[in-house]
Structure 1
């Protein structure tokens, strides 16, 4: 039996206006799929990349949008085990399609939620929290005493990272665009907030570290920060480039890494750190435990009606938001 749901779809890449709210068919879940009714949907910058079609292998059009959410299981496909009707689950990954009232989802992406966790807070944290988990625990494991430079420290990922890095015992230097965002970063555990619109972050990092540089830079900004980020590293330090909100990164002369101090550069993707179900569940367990313990929280959540997804995208791209953005059906 095929039902219907309301969802956003788009048939061309471009600005938020390409998103179209429509009624579409919702078939029964296929083998090893579940069907959920969304309670909250997380908005991530990867949604904007998908909408713009900026990846090397863009989505096949037409398509849905969104890769994270929280919902209640309403139907089970054949072969699904470990899940029951009425159960509350969160997910990251799988085919885009989270901007919908209901959807079908591979059961392997569903994570059973602890009862004490709020659905909106989980939607605000699940993708960004799992991103931070792999960045600071597995991509470049940060230890007590390390010094980290984290760009966009008041943003959705940055806010979570500052909290978690503070709990680890690292010294966190963050870049932000305004005095207001500097206060947000400090409130989340950032030791030194650099307002990059007012001072040169590279010079300030050198001053803060006595010219030694930082152990690791986490950079999701891209073209505006990449070159100077390399120059903020100590010898044998690592630059983790995991986004490019300001535009594509210019070509890198690999030989320069040796001249700058035998540096490392990596371009990780959450897809490769959550593809294995065991790793995915372990990462989620780590995140959920940190949330329950109050170590990681959604300090600022901007909520929009699901129908207002276009406005949410406009605000996110214009950097009018801090923290996380969540759509409510």
Structure 2
């Protein structure tokens, strides 16, 4: 995994700067959770897991208010079998993610309930309340087929939890870098499908009315459903992009080494196209099955984005770094064109990188090329 950097924060005073709105809207169907310090987050107590389908909005939408269910801690404790270790799906900077089963109390449903993913804040985590609140404020209102659905949350005393739709195939990171016989290499057409889906999700964020900068695009934050449809997850570091009168926003540097754009690391200046750099790194990871950062590689090869640039414009050189598990079963012309697209995304200056809309259009033309 990449090395994340941030400063510890367990400050329960809500910060709304850089979020979709200064407060989460409250309607007659919402209820409000209040902590001991008086901070509030609103949600929908009558939410159902089946609501909020993306099918009617294939291009995405921004909801006027969140459609989130407020869970009790006891509900989620029961759903995850008391957060048993054998229900752990993964672990990130925020805390562990558990597989859970919600009892919807509907007679027609099986006793096993609806499967969900429950993220629980680790009290020792470098991330804290502000990141949790960012998830609620962004994913509570953003709806798109290529963004993971946030179903609800829990906020009781010091317990902070988030409940998401369950993604059957796990993370892209696991498929690219996981070990063992259970992890099968992804075929070329599935890799391209995943890239296009992830690109669409990122393009929606950039072209939405609020110009959301995701800020932590990486393979572990791309989740896959049962049909390998890609969905971007984890909006704890997301931030609103610059206004029309500004070229960038300046913020504390947070993210993951190897994926973060050089201008952001050096200056703290965050551009919409800073995300494009991270996408370029994931493009290269998909081609090579090599991690963005790996200290075990020879000197000069630790940072994938820097090391592979000379290989991305030459078909013969590219062949030497392509994932050997593909066994040559990929269209060499399309692979080269995607490598060249990655090179553009990894451009040293934000203005030279393509927009994510252009990336989506370009990847779409490669899908059936041989």
Q: TM-score, normalised by structure 1?
A: 0.29
Q: Comparing both structures, which one devotes a greater share of its residues to strand? A: 1
